[in-house]
């Protein structure tokens, strides 16, 4: 895996592609946006003018796109599947509907190509530091082939099962993340309204049975932790718009599988409210703001 094509050079894709190129992997990159292409060029990446120039003589094609329609555009409308050699492994790291992943992977298979879904956890910081977690679905042999690249861009890879399973596991994780972030925010606010110091309360709960990732790593209450978005006006991090996208996908998954997910639905409503209030470009821990006023 020495020659890689990379499509989608946004907040996540650019640092991921740069980490590959730092490890002597030759990366040919492309993005639809002129701004993203310029930023990638300035960062030292080899950027192509058309998507099809990226597809030639590569061992793997990685895509890191915002949503289902972008993935369908690239693979089903732009003829990317026809432009690839049969030996090229396709790795889609976008977070999308598992059914879309399966549809595109089947289309690839019909053309003699292998495609795996490999959404990530770890955010922009993880992408920059090369510490992402890859959650992968597809043929196990293909996943093994891709793991040399996952090991450069991340520090953990989990095999979830057949095509689409990576997306299912990712959506389960993000639904749980939203639920415990919402619970953590409202609990901290209640403690503070009853006279507790948020730092002391956080320390108590973190070391008691209420402990969870939001309390340990990503406290939503301003000033409790340094270097978290909550202590920087909720800038950076994982945007409310993306969390709402993931909760919408989780709700679709829940409905399709007739799963009972009242907490997931409530978390989605809370994030809808936050997005409607104009906070879509703030970090998802800004759910805390709902309880501060
Ligand atoms: P982003 O919007 O910053 O980047 C997406 C890039 O894709 C943009 O540069 C856009 O121009 C490009 N693009 C869109 N359509 C295209 C097309 N048809 N052809 C070529 N390029 C196209 O998004 P991001 O934050 O980098 O997220 C990418 C994916 O990773 C999303 O699916 C997101 O849910 C997931 N994700 C994001 C985070 C995070 O913290 N940002 C964390 C985990 C997973």
- 105: tokens are 């992977």
What is the position in ligand 1's atom list of the atom closest to the CA of 95? Answer: 32
Q: Whose CA is nearest to atom 1 of ligand 1?
A: 10
CA angle, residues 78, 84, 90, in degrees to nearest 5: 90
Q: Is the CB of 150 under 6 A from ligand 1?
A: no
How close is the Cα of 64 to the center of ligand 1, in Å?
5
Q: Is the CB of 80 under 6 A from ligand 1?
A: no
**Given this model, what pLDDT does residue 237 score?**
85
Q: Which among 208, 209, 231 is positioned nearest to 218, based on CA atoms? A: 231
pTM as predicted: 0.95
**Given this model, what pLDDT does residue 79 score?**
87
**Given this model, what pLDDT does residue 257 score?**
97
Note the pLDDT tens digit of each residue in 158-216: 999 999 999 999 999 999 999 999 999 999 999 999 999 999 999 999 999 999 999 99
- 142: tokens are 């293909």
What residue ranges in 142-216 does DSSP mark as E strands?
154-161
Res. 293: pLDDT tops 80: no
What domains can be seen in the chain, in order of their start residue? 3-162 (3.40.50.720), 168-291 (1.10.1040.10)
Q: Which among 168, 283, 176 is positioned nearest to 220, based on CA atoms? A: 283
d(CA 29, CA 17): 8
Note the pLDDT tens digit of each residue in 72-98: 999 999 889 999 999 999 999 999 999
How close is the Cα of 11 to the center of ligand 1, in Å?
7
**Given this model, what pLDDT does residue 253 score?**
97
Q: Whose CA is nearest to atom 3 of ligand 1?
A: 10
d(CA 22, CA 152): 9
Note the pLDDT tens digit of each residue in 129-159: 999 999 999 999 999 999 999 999 999 999 9
């Amino acid at each position: 895996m020495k020659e890689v094509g990379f499509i989608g050079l946004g907040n996540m894709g650019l640092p991921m592609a740069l980490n590959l190129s730092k490890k002597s992997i030759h990366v040919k990159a492309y993005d639809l946006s002129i701004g993203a292409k310029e930023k990638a060029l300035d960062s030292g990446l080899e950027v192509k003018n058309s998507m099809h120039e990226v597809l030639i003589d590569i061992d793997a094609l990685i895509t890191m796109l915002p949503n289902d329609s972008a993935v369908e555009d690239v693979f089903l409308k732009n003829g990317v599947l026809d432009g690839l050699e049969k030996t090229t492994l396709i790795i889609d790291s976008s977070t999308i509907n598992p059914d879309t992943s399966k549809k595109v992977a089947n289309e690839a298979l019909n053309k003699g190509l292998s495609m795996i879904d490999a959404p990530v956890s770890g955010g922009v910081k993880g992408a920059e530091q090369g510490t992402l977690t890859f959650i992968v679905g597809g043929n196990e042999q293909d996943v093994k082939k891709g793991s040399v690249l996952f090991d450069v861009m991340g520090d953990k890879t989990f095999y979830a099962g057949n095509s689409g399973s990576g997306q299912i596991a990712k959506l389960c994780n993000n639904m749980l993340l939203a639920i415990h972030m919402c619970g953590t925010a409202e609990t901290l606010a209640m403690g503070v309204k009853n006279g507790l110091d948020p730092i002391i309360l956080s320390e108590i709960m973190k070391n008691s049975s209420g402990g969870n990732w939001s309390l340990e790593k990503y406290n939503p209450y301003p000033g409790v932790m340094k270097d978290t978005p909550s202590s920087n006006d909720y800038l950076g991090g994982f945007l409310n718009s993306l969390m709402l996208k993931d909760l919408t996908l989780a709700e679709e998954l829940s409905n399709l599988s007739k799963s009972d997910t009242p907490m997931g639905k409530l978390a989605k409503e809370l994030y809808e409210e936050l997005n409607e209030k104009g906070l879509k470009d703030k970090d998802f821990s800004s759910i805390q703001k709902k309880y501060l006023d």
